[in-house]
Structure 1
Amino acid sequence: MRWQGRRGSRNIEDRRGRSAGRAVAGVGSLGIGGLLLVVVVGWVFGIDVSPLLSGGNAGGSQVSRPVTAQEQREAEFVSVVLADTEEVWADVFRRQVGEAYRAPMLVLFSGVTSSPCGGASGATGPFYCPADRKAYLDTAFFTTLEQRLGAQGDFAAAYVVAHEVAHHVQNELGILGQANQVRAQSSPEQSNAISVRIELQADCLSGIWARMAQESFGSLERGDLREAVNAARQIGDDRLQRIQGRVPMPHTFTHGTSEQRARWFERGYQSGDIQSCDTFSARQL
């Protein structure tokens, strides 16, 4: 991905290196174990893997420390990707929605932090909190994404940021609030099914961002699109359950299968149209 030397976003709240209290793992999480699995969780990826990232204790205190050179580079990368989403969605909202786009704030943290949606740690992964309209990201997750989940490349990391912003887009469109209201009144199985549609729509919206980023900034390099599609496949519910040694159980899925996640991302990329991402009207996902 071509990102060096590009404009960064000012909508960054940097909490890295700060001292913090105990983290509460599990913003809408589904607790799991397994020594070989680290997965994406929170509002977007939904699985608590605290023991795997913290040696069995997600809660301990964090000591303030300087930000490393690698963390600073990762923050600069996130800032550029966030700036790209701001420009892309401002343009898409103007042309397709007829309204102004209000960009989210992105919180960078190290280890643990808090939000109105609950506590977060490196184990809870990136997530979006509609209560304060902020996305939360520990950039150490990029290492997990590459080394533990097999999703290499900077555009795989960009996809993670774009997916969180896509949840904000859903919030701006009024979709996220309505869907979560229905979920709160539904059975666990029905709630999971609605969650799948939320997540697949966010994948599709991420695809729209990728297309528009290429058209507007020429930011994609050869292989970038493949990196994003691969990242979507690596975090499908069926694959994650197989990694745990379980037979995939569709009624427990909250994010969609690997095939679904990749296909909806590609659908958004190919169409560039918000209407094409209407997972809630789709008869077949």
Structure 2
Amino acid sequence: MNDAVKGVRGSRNVEDRRRSGARGGGRAAGGIGGVGLLVVLAIGYFAGIDVTPLLQGTAPTNESSAPRELTAEEEQAAQFASRVLATTETVWENVFAEQLGLEYDPPVLVLFSGATRSPCGGASGATGPFYCPADSKAYLDTDFFVTLSRRLGARGDFAAAYVIAHEVAHHVQNELGILPEVNARRQAASQTQANALTVRLELQADCLSGVWASHVEGLLEPGDIEEALNAARKIGDDHLQKSAGRVPQPHTFTHGTSQQRAHWFATGYESGQVQQCDTFGAARL
């Protein structure tokens, strides 16, 4: 995909904080309404980010405010992310209009290095990419591409593109009202039931990522889809728990097994239809 994506325009919806650190900020809990507080708590759960400092009135950051120059690799990563984001904008604008009869409002992609802030709490590169519905922004430490390739074994530029598409898929869910609905259901559920709902949410995002991939076939190269499927497998809950030396505990899963993640991505890719991504109505995942 790398050579093909070079011919794609870059998105204007990119906020690069890597030179000077975060300028946005989390707000103290006193400034968040009851619904907003539930959203913050839910996103901390969904994304794995620590929202405690936000609720205490501070947002953590290890960032330096001193400007710095980006490396050539960082510049390349930003260009790649911007172009992949642009493909999601084109695809979802068309899919929303043709399949849903709706208008698509794209998210902003925040690039950061080390740590940053969001209305959903502080984040660091260790948390991985996440989407915050409070500001409709997806957050990505571009070093995660290195982690994905070297530590998780999900190599290839399309695997990296899949990660961006997955976070954009969460924005699609937010646009369609799915995120707030799931959050409301989680509040009335037990921890195990809440985990199960989150799994369905994540698998739906995998499926929607597949829908995106099915509509950018002109950019795909041989092996690209297998790269995405491999990435999905490498970040399955069972695989990650095994890699950490633990016995997989299904009741703790929040993203689905490797097989499930690959299956739902493939479902979206092969159908190209949003309606085929109803993980909440599926009897079996």
Q: How far did 1:84 drift?
A: 0.3
Residue identity opposite 1:260 in structure 2 = Q
TM-score (norm 2): 0.86
Note closer, same or farther for the CA distance 1:59–1:11 as it changes in structure 2 (3 Å cut): closer
> Aligned runs of 1:171-186 on 2, under 5 Å?
171-186=174-189
Q: How far did 1:241 drift?
A: 0.7
CA distance in 1, matches of 2:168, 2:79: 17
Aligned to 2:283: 283
- The answer as to 2:238 corresponding to 1:238 is yes
Note closer, same or farther for the CA distance 1:256–1:269 as it changes in structure 2 (3 Å cut): same
- The answer as to 2:106 corresponding to 1:103 is yes
Aligned to 2:223: 223
Aligned to 2:44: 28
Deviating more after overlay: 179-188 vs 232-241: 179-188
CA distance in 2, matches of 1:5, 1:222: 18
Note closer, same or farther for the CA distance 1:19–1:86 as it changes in structure 2 (3 Å cut): closer
Higher helix share: 2
- The answer as to 2:250 corresponding to 1:250 is yes
Aligned to 1:15: 17
Aligned to 1:84: 87
TM-score (norm 1): 0.86
Answer whether contact 1:230 1:262 (CA < 8 A) is retained: yes
Aligned to 1:54: none
> Aligned runs of 1:123-138 on 2, under 5 Å?
123-138=126-141
Aligned to 1:38: none
> Aligned runs of 1:53-64 on 2, under 5 Å?
60-62=62-64, 64=67
**2:122 paired residue among 115, 119, 122:** 119
Answer whether contact 1:74 1:139 (CA < 8 A) is retained: yes
Aligned partner of residue 106 in structure 1, secondary structure: strand
CA distance in 1, matches of 2:62, 2:136: 27
- The answer as to 2:229 corresponding to 1:198 is no
**1:145 paired residue among 138, 144, 148:** 148
Answer whether contact 2:49 2:121 (CA < 8 A) is retained: no
Q: Percent identity?
A: 63
Gaps in structure 2 of 5+ consecutive residues: 27-40, 51-59
Aligned to 2:162: 159
CA distance in 2, matches of 1:270, 1:61: 42
Gaps in structure 1 of 5+ consecutive residues: 30-41, 49-57
Spell out, residue by residue over 1:68-117, the C-alpha distance to the aligned partner (whole angstroms, 9 max, x if none). Answer: 11111110001110000000000000011101101111111111110000
Q: How far did 1:5 drift?
A: 2.8
CA distance in 1, matches of 2:83, 2:62: 32
Q: How far did 1:150 drift?
A: 0.2
CA distance in 1, matches of 2:253, 2:124: 23
Aligned partner of residue 15 in structure 2, secondary structure: strand
Aligned residue pair count: 257
CA distance in 1, matches of 2:11, 2:120: 24
